């Protein structure tokens, strides 16, 4: 496939979307950046790309935006783990978005779609987790459900319409260019630096540099086999507590306290209080009982040999990714203090 044909990136003012736009432009690929909020122009300052208004719930806007596009990077989605009405605000948005965007791509004559799924759509019952283990049987979270059902639906629709579709599955993306509001993963590092993690939750994260994921998306468009899924993550995960310890070593002047371990019953009680506070303030709670039930102790270790061998995916070490992301946050105090 030639690399100088027009590409469209949805969710182009988000963390991955914007870094992917920057990468494609550096590679000399003309980019149409699709966003829902046209007033948020800061992510595109100094970038030579066309910015268009689309909404994943509005198919017609995508048919228009995808006209003349060869490769569609489907990044845009509702990425949140908490909402007042999770089915309506997360699940329904992501499922209808998948249907609308793929049907629009078919109408517009798009050749290839790189569909950004998530490690949420993997089966964690056998470690290390790989792509052939099927989908996540845990149905307790609407974001996870939307990623599992959305990816399956994407493959079905692409096959029906004769479009090449490759799925990529990123883990916890951090680092590089970032604009407010920070994504869920990057925000955890901000919480650590601001001393907002009170206890050891035993929750692990598989840290990955967003630039490595952007490169993985590009490689998937060039080398990925249609109908296949590729994990874009590191092999080993780190607990939030180990990440705090790393931050403490890098920035001793912050006097970061390593979160203490408490029994799971206490974790549930703390999460319950935070959920109540979230309902009253209408802001996402720092921790929910579902977070503890689903993620405390869950190991997010992956076999990434498929992405390495077939795509040439070479992610940087997770500790280095964390170090560079922390440096970025420390340098950009306006992001850290808000």
Question: Is residue 335 one of the residues assigned to a domain?
Answer: no
CATH at residue 87: 3.40.50.720
Question: Is residue 169 one of the residues assigned to a domain?
Answer: yes
Contact 191, 138 (CB under 8 A): no
Share of the chain above pLDDT 90, in %: 83
Domain count, the chain: 1
pLDDT tens-digit profile of 246-300?
999 999 999 999 999 999 999 999 999 998 998 888 888 889 999 999 999 999 9
Other CB atoms closer than 10 Å to residue 192's CB: what's the count? 24
Q: What's the pLDDT at 122?
A: 97
What contacts 279, CB < 8 A, 6 or more positions away?
none
Question: Is residue 152 one of the residues assigned to a domain?
Answer: yes
pLDDT tens-digit profile of 24-37?
999 999 999 999 98
Question: Is residue 282 one of the residues assigned to a domain?
Answer: no
Question: Is residue 287 one of the residues assigned to a domain?
Answer: no
**Whole-prediction pTM:** 0.95
Where do runs of H (alpha helix) occur along 66-121? 86, 92-108
Return the minimum-mean-pLDDT range out of 69-83, 84-98, 294-308. 69-83
**338 band by pLDDT with thresholds 50, 70 and 90:** low
Task: Supply the range of the domain harboring residue 31.
Answer: 7-174+208-234+301-315
DSSP character at residue 6: -
Using the predicted structure, report yes or no on whether residue 4 has a pLDDT greater than 80.
no
The overall average pLDDT reported for the chain is 93
Question: Is residue 42 one of the residues assigned to a domain?
Answer: yes
Structure tokens at 160: 């029906």
Question: Is residue 38 one of the residues assigned to a domain?
Answer: yes
Structure tokens at 195: 């001393």
What contacts 243, CB < 8 A, 6 or more positions away?
188, 189, 192, 205, 207, 322
Q: What's the pLDDT at 25?
A: 97
Question: Is residue 190 one of the residues assigned to a domain?
Answer: no
Q: What is the mean pLDDT of residues 316-330?
A: 96
């Amino acid at each position: 496939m030639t690399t100088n044909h027009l590409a469209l990136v949805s969710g182009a003012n988000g963390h991955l979307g914007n870094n992917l736009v920057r990468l494609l432009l550096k590679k000399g690929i003309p980019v149409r950046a699709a966003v829902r909020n046209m007033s948020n122009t800061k992510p595109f300052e100094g970038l030579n790309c066309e910015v268009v208004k689309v909404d994943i719930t509005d198919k017609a806007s995508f048919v228009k935006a995808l006209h003349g596009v060869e490769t569609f990077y489907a990044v845009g989605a509702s990425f949140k783990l908490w909402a007042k009405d999770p089915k309506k605000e997360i699940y329904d948005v992501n499922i209808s978005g998948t249907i609308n965007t793929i049907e629009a791509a078919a109408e517009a004559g798009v050749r290839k779609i790189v569909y950004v799924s998530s490690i949420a759509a993997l089966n964690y019952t056998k470690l290390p987790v790989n792509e052939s283990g099927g989908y996540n049987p845990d149905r307790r979270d609407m974001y996870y459900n939307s990623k599992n059902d959305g990816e399956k639906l994407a493959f079905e629709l692409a096959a029906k319409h004769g479009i090449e579709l490759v799925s990529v599955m990123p883990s916890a993306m951090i680092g590089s260019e970032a604009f407010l509001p920070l994504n869920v993963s990057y925000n955890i590092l901000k919480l650590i630096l601001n001393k907002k993690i009170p206890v050891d939750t035993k929750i692990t994260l598989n840290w990955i540099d967003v630039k490595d994921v952007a490169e993985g998306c590009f490689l998937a468009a060039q080398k990925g086999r249609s109908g296949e899924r590729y994990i874009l993550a590191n092999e080993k995960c780190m607990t939030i507590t180990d990440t705090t310890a790393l931050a403490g070593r890098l920035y001793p002047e912050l006097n970061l306290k390593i979160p203490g371990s408490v029994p799971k019953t206490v974790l549930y009680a703390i999460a319950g209080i935070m959920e109540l506070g979230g309902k009253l303030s209408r802001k996402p709670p720092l921790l929910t009982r579902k977070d503890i039930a689903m993620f405390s102790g869950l190991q997010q270790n992956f076999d990434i040999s498929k992405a390495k061998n077939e795509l040439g995916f070479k992610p940087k070490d997770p500790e280095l990714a964390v170090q560079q992301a922390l440096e970025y946050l420390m340098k950009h105090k306006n992001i850290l203090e808000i």
